[in-house]
Amino acid sequence: MRPAARIRIMVDVRPIRAICVLSFLAGLLVATRADGGLRMPPAPAPSPAVATPPQVAPSIDVEAEVSQLRRALSDEVPHLIVDRPIGKQEWIARTRAAVNASGLAIQRPQLLVVVDRNPRMQQMRLILARPQGDWDDLGGTKVSTGQVGRYDYFLTPTGIFLHTDAVLDWRAEGTFNTHHVRGLGESGMRVWDFGWQRAVRGWRSATKVSKMRLLLHATDPDTLARRLGRAASKGCIRIPEAMNLFLDRHGILDVSYEQAAQHNPRFQAVLLSDRTPTPLAGNALVVVDSSQKR
Q: What is the pLDDT of residues 144-185, one digit of tens each?
A: 999 998 899 999 999 999 999 999 999 999 999 888 899 999
Q: Which domain holds residue 96?
A: 62-288
123 with 103: CB under 8 angstroms? no
pLDDT at 5: 44
164 with 256: CB under 8 angstroms? yes
Confidence tier at 19 by pLDDT (50, 70, 90): very low
Amino acid at 107: Q
Residue 236 lies in a domain: yes
| pLDDT score of 43 more than 90 | no
- In this prediction, residues 237-241 reach a mean pLDDT of 98
Residue 92 CA, chain-centre distance (Å), reads: 22
**Rounded Cα–Cα distance for residues 182 and 223 (Å):** 9
Residue 170 lies in a domain: yes
Q: What is the pLDDT of residues 50-68, one digit of tens each?
A: 333 444 445 789 999 999 9
Residue 14 lies in a domain: no
235 with 287: CB under 8 angstroms? no
Contacts (Cβ under 8 Å, ≥6 apart) of 286: 95, 98, 99, 112, 113, 114, 115, 127, 159, 160, 161
Count Cβ atoms below 10 Å from residue 51 Cβ, excluding itself: 13
Of residues 200 and 32, more confidence is placed in 200
pLDDT at 2: 44
Residue 183 lies in a domain: yes
User: What is the DSSP-derived secondary structure letter of residue 225?
Assistant: G
- In this prediction, residues 195-199 reach a mean pLDDT of 98
Amino acid at 147: Q
Q: Which helix (H) or strand (E) holds 212?
A: strand 209-217
- Tell me, what CATH number does 226's domain have? 2.40.440.10
pLDDT at 46: 38
- In this prediction, residues 65-83 reach a mean pLDDT of 98
pLDDT at 24: 42
pLDDT at 294: 61
pLDDT at 257: 98
Confidence tier at 23 by pLDDT (50, 70, 90): very low
| pLDDT score of 10 more than 80 | no
Nearest to 157, CA basis, from 106, 104, 244, 216: 216
pLDDT at 58: 55
Domain total for the chain?
1
How far is residue 166 from each of residues 69, 193, 203, 263, measured CA to CA in Å?
Answer: 28, 10, 30, 14
Q: What is the pLDDT of residues 114-142, one digit of tens each?
A: 999 999 999 999 999 999 999 999 999 99
pLDDT at 207: 81
Confidence tier at 22 by pLDDT (50, 70, 90): very low
236 with 199: CB under 8 angstroms? no
pLDDT at 168: 97
Q: What is the pLDDT of residues 248-281, one digit of tens each?
A: 999 999 999 999 999 999 999 999 999 999 999 9
**Rounded Cα–Cα distance for residues 261 and 264 (Å):** 5
Residue 112 lies in a domain: yes
Percentage of the chain with pLDDT > 90? 71
Residue 174 lies in a domain: yes
Residue 184 lies in a domain: yes
* Helices vs strands, H then E, count in the chain: 6, 10
* Helix ranges, the chain (H): 14-31, 62-76, 85-102, 241-249, 255-261, 265-270
Crossing angle of the two packed helices 62-76 and 241-249, in degrees rounded to 10 = 150
Does the bond joining 54 to the residue before it have cis omega, within 30 degrees of 0?
Answer: yes
Q: Is 68 helix (H, G, I), strand (E, B) or coil?
A: helix
**Rounded Cα–Cα distance for residues 67 and 245 (Å):** 19
Residue 192 lies in a domain: yes
| pLDDT score of 30 more than 70 | no
215 with 243: CB under 8 angstroms? no
Q: pTM to 2 decimals? A: 0.80
pLDDT at 204: 76
